[in-house]
Amino acid sequence: MQTQDINFQNANIRVEDDRTGLSVEALKRAFLDNLFYIQGKFPAIATRNDYYMALAYTVRDRLFRRWINTAEVYTTQGSRTVCYFSAEFLMGPHLGNNLINLGIFDQVKQAMQELGLDLDELMEQEEEPGLGNGGLGRLAACYLDSMATLEIASIGYGIRYEFGIFDQDIRDGWQVESTDKWLSYGNPWEISRPEWEVQVKFGGYTEAFTNERGQYRVRWVPDKVVRGVPHDTPILGYQVNTCNTLRLWSSEAIESFDFTAFNAGDYSGAVYKKMESENISKVLYPNDNMTQGKILRLEQQFFFVSCSLQDMIRILERQNISLDRFHEKFVVQLNDTHPSIAIAELMRLLMDEHGMEWDQAWNITSKTFAYTNHTLLPEALERWPIGLFGKLLPRHLEIIYEINSRFLDEVRLKYPDDIARINRMSLIDESGERYVRMANLACVGSFAINGVAALHTELMKKDVLHDFYELYPDKFNNKTNGVTPRRFMVLSNPRLCRLITSKIGHTWVKHLDELHQLEAYVDDPEFRAEFRQIKQAIKQDLAQYIKANYGLEVDPASMFDIQAKRIHEYKRQHLNALHIITLYNRIKANPDIDITPRTFLFGGKAAPGYFLAKLIIKFINSIGDVVNRDPDVRGRLKVLFLKDYSVKFAQRVYPAADLSEQISTAGKEASGTGNMKFAMNGALTIGTLDGANVEILEEVGAENFFLFGMTAEEVYAKRAAGYNPMEYYESDPELKLVLDRVASGFFSHGDVNLFKPLIDNLLYSDPYFLLADYRSYVDCQDRVSLAYRNQDHWTRMSILNTARMGKFSSDRSIQDYCDDIWKVHPIKIELRDYVQGGCGFDGSTDCKVVF
Ligand SMILES: *Cc1c(COP(=O)(O)O)cnc(C)c1O
């Protein structure tokens, strides 16, 4: 290490100092420095993880100035801040994203190369924080990226789960789960801030009293108190100085509790209390679009919400801003109902802890929250049994009763004598066992309610939230989801991005609509050839990965037909499977049939308690076992289930697709974001008119989209008319053969019972209308196969998909949230130096940071 080269006397050293310099030389020195002083290693004894850590710290050092500058500007300007409350943040690896956003990817790649290291390998080393299940958590992560990029003051608030989404292995075709120990090698991207810890109460009882001024008050006497400790991760925007914060809370025991029990001689009691406290942030519930009425889940929700609101109050108090301006200084976006207990908790904090009266507290609360609805599936609507709720949160139950009583008076005034309506809208479900309805609480307590795609918002207004729409039509609005092009194009598909930038310049990364300019090149044969070669090269890479990791040969010239998302009946991975069997049957009937070769790839996790979803995984693997080996197939079809789908892996998969499977039952997928990530990278979609597919079709044009299946209205009508799946089985010989083959044990070594639950489900109930959509789907797939044979035309369509995806940048979504809901504007952050001057280092006191 050439440390002698560095002149510490030089006042301008910061430009090239090891802690901030961006030249290849400075990066190399910093890297070796961090390897030695943080990892305690030098190259001869360093592991790949040591190298990864040294690089992560090197990059993190280059974020700090922006991070502190940002916090300082927000503090001194008292900026209106968006607080994004989400039980899940599916961030994906940080290293590559930070390199892109800092604009130092190429320098770092070169620096590593000069040290004999491969940047791609180091990025592969990062254990991603899998603190989410799927789309909802990934949306929160994309929104953080876009808020920082658009220079919007924001904080992401959530839970620092010690174990995120489980790791998935496949053994004998079945999903096997193991714990996600993402923190075991340490997390270089977070900084804990124990000085800002808060306390959260649970259980116990409430008592009313009259205070010294003769006012009626309520005191909550809890039977458990835990500490919430914030862990902050910097969220840098794309080539701006804005660096916002993701603040995740972890639960810890209160020391004094342990000591009391310990001194009383109850050692195991003390240990148990500690364990119980730490359990709250221990593990992410692995259900996607499905609630589990477990008390621990409610504890998690209340825990992070209470921590976050207390943190926001601290920030205001430190800025000497009065609490009655809470709603001016903050707006809280509720990512689904998971954090909706925040409405009752803010009421409690304002009244019980800060002495406000109901009306003022309600005025503030009802101007603070905005609620995003994410699903129409009845099994995903959160409700808590009153008994359980009141035991854990006795004070909040009282507050909810009071909100409800005032709310129902309002409803009664508008709809006198409409008892049925009042029962439907009540925050309490009294139809049987009594429940608190979290969606109703969210609707009453929020000033805005949005769906996540145009169709979803319409269905929401028509169906699940219809009564609330009639009462508060102005609260309702649509915000179609988006995804960040930084991670899902620039980072994951550098070859395509280089080609795009060579034609239209680089500003499309921040203004994705500019991709439209690519349309000018769609008739340029040379451009089409380059575009096609890039897709081919990416497929080649994935084929190599598959060979290395699964020992399976797949043909990169075959169509890569991919369905990657959580496994769920409504997403209909099994419909895809029925199509594969259909093609296989055609080959068996006529081995010389002329068929377009396809590689079917699946990825996605099933909730551990979701039997049919796990059986679908086994089903896909069993089909693969037969199809991949049958000599009649002659390699023309390959079927593979890729294990442990994650953000890291998603980045490898989306760019490699020719065909994107978005085949949910119409009306069931709220938006989908995988559909956007595929299409941006030039995959064509085969899809239903569901979620954002509708808008993707609208953007790319029907001639560049493979549409099939019933509409949501047709699905409702069919259900209402009494759907009989057996009719389809009886009347479609190809479908009958598919189901009969499966039922005969053909794909299960003769075991006729293995897939019986799946087949019986389809024949006798088919709640997601697979059989009704089968013919339309298979015929559409035949059109896909035909289209793929004309590679030149296919490439045209593929280019037009990429070119017309501008709408689906999360920057557009966030701009819409800013304009219509949050009413916030960008705040420019200038780079100020802290090493040389200002902020305490030189004795000055002009810097204040409370964020
Ligand atoms: C985008 C994404 C999802 C959501 O996919 P859908 O197809 O919209 O369900 C789920 N998981 C990961 C890792 C993703 O990146």
pLDDT digits 0-9 by tens, 349-408: 999 999 999 999 999 999 999 999 999 999 999 999 999 999 999 999 999 999 999 999
Q: How does DSSP assign 367-399, residue by residue?
A: TTEEEE-----GGGS-EEEHHHHHHH-HHHHHH
In a domain, 355, yes or no: yes
What residue's CA is closest to ligand 1, atom 11? Answer: 134
Joined tokens for residue 606: 């099933």
Residues 166 and 212 in one domain: yes
Q: Which atom of ligand 1 is nearest to the CA of 673?
A: 8
In a domain, 527, yes or no: no
User: Is the separation of the CB atoms in 131 and 284 below 8 Å?
Assistant: yes
Joined tokens for residue 647: 């953000």
* Ramachandran sector of residue 239 (left: φ over 0; alpha: ψ -120 to 50; beta: rest): left
Residue 53 C-alpha to ligand 1 middle, in angstroms? 28
Q: What is the mean pLDDT of residues 578-597?
A: 98
Residue 676 C-alpha to ligand 1 middle, in angstroms? 10
What residue's CA is closest to ligand 1, atom 8? Answer: 672
687: which strand partners? 662, 707
Of the residues 771, 789, 807, the one at which a domain ends: 789
Residues 149, 446, 338: CA angle, nearest 5 degrees: 75
Q: Of 177, 570, 575, whose CA–CA distance to 379 is shortest? A: 570
In a domain, 754, yes or no: yes
Residues 234 and 280 in one domain: yes
Residue 4: predicted pLDDT: 33
Residue 348 C-alpha to ligand 1 middle, in angstroms? 36
Residue 269: predicted pLDDT: 78
Q: Of 331, 430, 336, whose CA–CA distance to 377 is shortest? A: 336
Residue 671: predicted pLDDT: 98
Joined tokens for residue 8: 């510490």
CB atoms within 10 A of CB 432: 6
Q: List pLDDT tens digits, range 148-191.
A: 999 999 999 999 999 999 999 999 999 999 999 999 999 999 99
pLDDT band at 8 (very low <50, low <70, confident <90, very high): very low
Q: Of 102, 103, 100, 106, whose CA–CA distance to 119 is shortest? A: 106
In this structure, of 7-16, 404-413, 675-684, the range with the lowest mean pLDDT score is 7-16
Among 88, 90, 138, 602, say which to mutate for ligand 1: greatest number of ligand atoms within 8 Å of CB. 138
Q: How many whole angstroms separate alpha carbon 636 and alpha carbon 627?
A: 9
Residue 659 C-alpha to ligand 1 middle, in angstroms? 16
CA 159 to chain centre: 14
User: Is the separation of the CB atoms in 763 and 770 below 8 Å?
Assistant: no
In a domain, 839, yes or no: no
The torsion angle over the Cα atoms of residues 442, 448, 453 and 459, rounded to 10 degrees, is 60
What residue's CA is closest to ligand 1, atom 5? Answer: 674
Q: Which atom of ligand 1 is nearest to the CA of 672?
A: 8
E runs forming strands in 173-242? 174-178, 191-192, 198-202, 205-210, 216-221, 224-236
Residues 710 and 737 in one domain: yes
What residue's CA is closest to ligand 1, atom 4? Answer: 135
729: which strand partners? none
Q: What is the mean pLDDT of residues 637-648?
A: 98
In a domain, 525, yes or no: no
In a domain, 267, yes or no: yes
Q: How many whole angstroms separate alpha carbon 309 and alpha carbon 312?
A: 5
Q: What is the mean pLDDT of residues 679-692?
A: 98
Q: How many whole angstroms separate alpha carbon 115 and alpha carbon 118?
A: 9
pLDDT at 266 over 70: yes
Joined tokens for residue 584: 């296989």
Straight-line distance from the first to the last Cα atom of the chain, in angstroms, rounded to the nearest whole number: 37
Residues 329 and 402 in one domain: yes
Average pLDDT of the chain, as a whole number = 95
Q: What is the mean pLDDT of residues 4-15?
A: 38
Residue 753: predicted pLDDT: 98
What residue's CA is closest to ligand 1, atom 9? Answer: 565
Residue 850: predicted pLDDT: 82
Q: Which helix (H) or strand (E) holds 622?
A: helix 611-627
At 604, is the secondary structure helix, strand, or coil? coil
What residue's CA is closest to ligand 1, atom 7? Answer: 674
Residues 103 and 215 in one domain: no
Residue 376 C-alpha to ligand 1 middle, in angstroms? 18
User: Is the separation of the CB atoms in 222 and 299 below 8 Å?
Assistant: no
What residue ranges line ligand 1, CB within 6 angstroms?
Answer: 134-135, 138, 565-566, 645-647, 650, 672-674, 677
Residues 224 and 344 in one domain: yes
CB atoms within 10 A of CB 334: 26
Q: What is the mean pLDDT of residues 760-771?
A: 98
Residues 108 and 169 in one domain: no
Q: Which atom of ligand 1 is nearest to the CA of 488?
A: 15
Q: List pLDDT tens digits, range 775-792.
A: 999 999 999 999 999 999
pLDDT band at 265 (very low <50, low <70, confident <90, very high): confident
| Amino acid residing at 113 | Q
Residue 666 C-alpha to ligand 1 middle, in angstroms? 18
Joined tokens for residue 578: 């029925």
Q: Which atom of ligand 1 is nearest to the CA of 649?
A: 13
pLDDT band at 6 (very low <50, low <70, confident <90, very high): very low
Joined tokens for residue 44: 């001869």
Q: Which atom of ligand 1 is nearest to the CA of 647?
A: 13
Residue 17: predicted pLDDT: 74
Q: What is the mean pLDDT of residues 706-728?
A: 98
Q: What is the mean pLDDT of residues 670-684?
A: 98
Total of domains in the chain: 3
Q: Which atom of ligand 1 is nearest to the CA of 651?
A: 15
What residue's CA is closest to ligand 1, atom 10? Answer: 134
Q: Which residues are catalytic?
A: 374, 565-566, 571, 673, 677
pLDDT band at 262 (very low <50, low <70, confident <90, very high): low
Of the residues 773, 789, 805, the one at which a domain ends: 789
Q: What is the mean pLDDT of residues 78-89?
A: 96
Residue 327 C-alpha to ligand 1 middle, in angstroms? 33
Pairing mode, strands 243-253 and 637-642:
unpaired
pLDDT at 12 over 50: no
Q: Of 573, 563, 560, 576, whose CA–CA distance to 650 is shortest? A: 563
Q: Which atom of ligand 1 is nearest to the CA of 92?
A: 13
Residues 67 and 84 in one domain: no
Residue 621 C-alpha to ligand 1 middle, in angstroms? 21
Q: Of 299, 267, 268, whose CA–CA distance to 282 is shortest? A: 299
Of the residues 462, 481, 500, the one at which a domain ends: 481
Residues 108 and 225 in one domain: no
Residue 165 C-alpha to ligand 1 middle, in angstroms? 13
CB atoms within 10 A of CB 524: 13
Residues 438 and 420 in one domain: yes
What residue's CA is closest to ligand 1, atom 6? Answer: 674
Residues 161 and 106 in one domain: no
In a domain, 52, yes or no: yes
Phi, psi of 231 (to 5 degrees): -120, 120
E runs forming strands in 702-849? 706-707
**Cβ burial 608-641 (10 Å sphere, 16+ → b, else e):** eebeebbbbbbbbbbbbbbbbeeeebeebbbbbb
Q: How many whole angstroms separate alpha carbon 713 and alpha carbon 711?
A: 5
What residue's CA is closest to ligand 1, atom 1? Answer: 674
E runs forming strands in 33-144? 81-85, 89-90, 130-131
pLDDT at 11 over 90: no
Q: How many whole angstroms separate alpha carbon 412 and alpha carbon 108?
A: 65
Give percent helix, percent strand, percent coil of the chain, each to the nearest 5: 50, 15, 35
Among 480, 566, 653, say which to mutate for ligand 1: greatest number of ligand atoms within 8 Å of CB. 566
Q: What is the residue range of 160's domain?
A: 80-88+140-481
In this structure, what DSSP letter does residue 79 have?
-
* Ramachandran sector of residue 52 (left: φ over 0; alpha: ψ -120 to 50; beta: rest): alpha
pLDDT at 16 over 70: no
Residues 291 and 433 in one domain: yes
Residue 287 C-alpha to ligand 1 middle, in angstroms? 14
In a domain, 492, yes or no: no
User: Is the separation of the CB atoms in 187 and 129 below 8 Å?
Assistant: yes
Residue 1: predicted pLDDT: 32
